[in-house]
Amino acid sequence: MVDARHCARDDFASRVIAWQKRNGRHDLPWQKTRDPYRIWLSEIMLQQTQVQTVLPYFARFLTRFPTLEALAGAPLESVLELWSGLGYYARARHLHLCAQTIAEGAGTFSPDPAENVSLPGIGRSTAAAISVFAFGRRAAILDGNVKRVLARCFAIDSAASAAQDERQMWALAESLLPAEKGIESYTQGMMDLGATLCTRSRPACDACPLGTICLAFRDGRQAELPMRRSRRPLPQRVSSLLLLTDGRRVLLERRPPAGIWGGLLSLPEVAGEAAEAFARRHGCRLLNSCALAPIRHGFTHFQLTMQVLRCDVEVISLQAGEGLREWLPLDDVGAAALPAPIKKLLLAAARSGQGS
């Protein structure tokens, strides 16, 4: 077996390119196009999200917003409605802001990744992917799949700090780029290898084109690499929510633009106010109430427990009040821009007839 640390750049790249042409993915809807808008949209959607999940969202987005100009001119609420269920909603807010920034400026993406990386929501790897696939520029990407391939093939142990790890990975990724032709196949191949063969668990090493030069395979370290830094337990947060319904509608509030679920509709969050007083303030008479099972939802930096009090009410005067709240028909929940756990709760209530 050849030591991967001495593997020539062209040999490494040629293995990846040849494998991608024979065995890689070629039929994804954002492939075989040079349209930077479609490539950028797919790259944002694919961040921390699997291809099969992204496919229907990508199709719906292009139907509703076929061009960058259409996306830029749409209200944020419409963008969030289409994004609902895809998660990581900051991506949708940055997507919308980025489209507006480009529409008001150059009108399109630059071929230069150094220029695109300054746009909202676009990091170094996404900027490189746009340059590679839309303009054929030579640039390195470093998403989670690529990191895993490199860490295993070259047996990269964690450095003293996460910043050092990142610098080391970027330097390696850039050093392995093909010298001349094949940058698109190479870039797609690196992503495909990580997604289909060099998976987090049960990697298919026998089918991998890098198998004969992979140090992790040689030493049996596939499960160990890439090394994970120990994490502290996530902080715990608790919020109190009211599910106020008259059987046909539910009262929702618009979340602030920044923070968790920014810009989405959600159940009103209350702190200390009695349910009866809250209902009265919104033109309702409280009929009965009951506590629902707590909902636990994990975020990147904390764990949230939502304590939901269901309040069945009679609407005396139809008002939402305070400008940020609105009554939504339960029949419209499926299409609304709601956080996934809240939408799941309301859809279950509507299906079971609890809201009637």
Catalytic (active-site) positions: 43
Exposure pattern of 254-278 as b/e (b: 16+ CB <10 Å)?
Answer: bbeeeebbbbbbbbbeeeeeebeeb
Q: Which amino acid is at 82?
A: L
Residue 319 φ/ψ, nearest 5 degrees: -145, 145
How big is the CA angle at 140 (ends 154 and 14), to the nearest 5 degrees? 60
Hey, what amino acid is at 93?
R
Note whether 94 and 126 are within 8 A (CB).
no
Supply angle C-alpha 342, 348, 354, rounded to 5.
Answer: 110
> What phi and psi, each to the nearest 5 degrees, are found at residue 296?
-110, 130
Query: Is the Cβ–Cβ distance between 45 and 86 less than 8 Å?
Result: yes
Q: In 3D, which of 284, 322, 296 has the Cα closest to residue 239?
A: 296
What whole-number distance in Å separates Cα of residue 152 and Cα of residue 36?
A: 31
Task: Determine contact, residues 305/233, Cβ cutoff 8 Å.
Answer: no
3-state secondary structure of 303: strand
Residue 243 backbone zone (phi > 0: left; psi -120 to 50: alpha; other: beta): beta
Angle separating helix axes 124-135 and 36-45, nearest 10 degrees:
140
Q: From the CB of residue 340, how many other CB atoms can be counted at a distance below 10 Å?
A: 15
Strands 303-315 and 325-329: unpaired
CA–CA separation, 121 and 98 (whole Å): 7
Q: Smallest Cα–Cα separation from 299: which of 346, 240, 234, 344?
A: 234
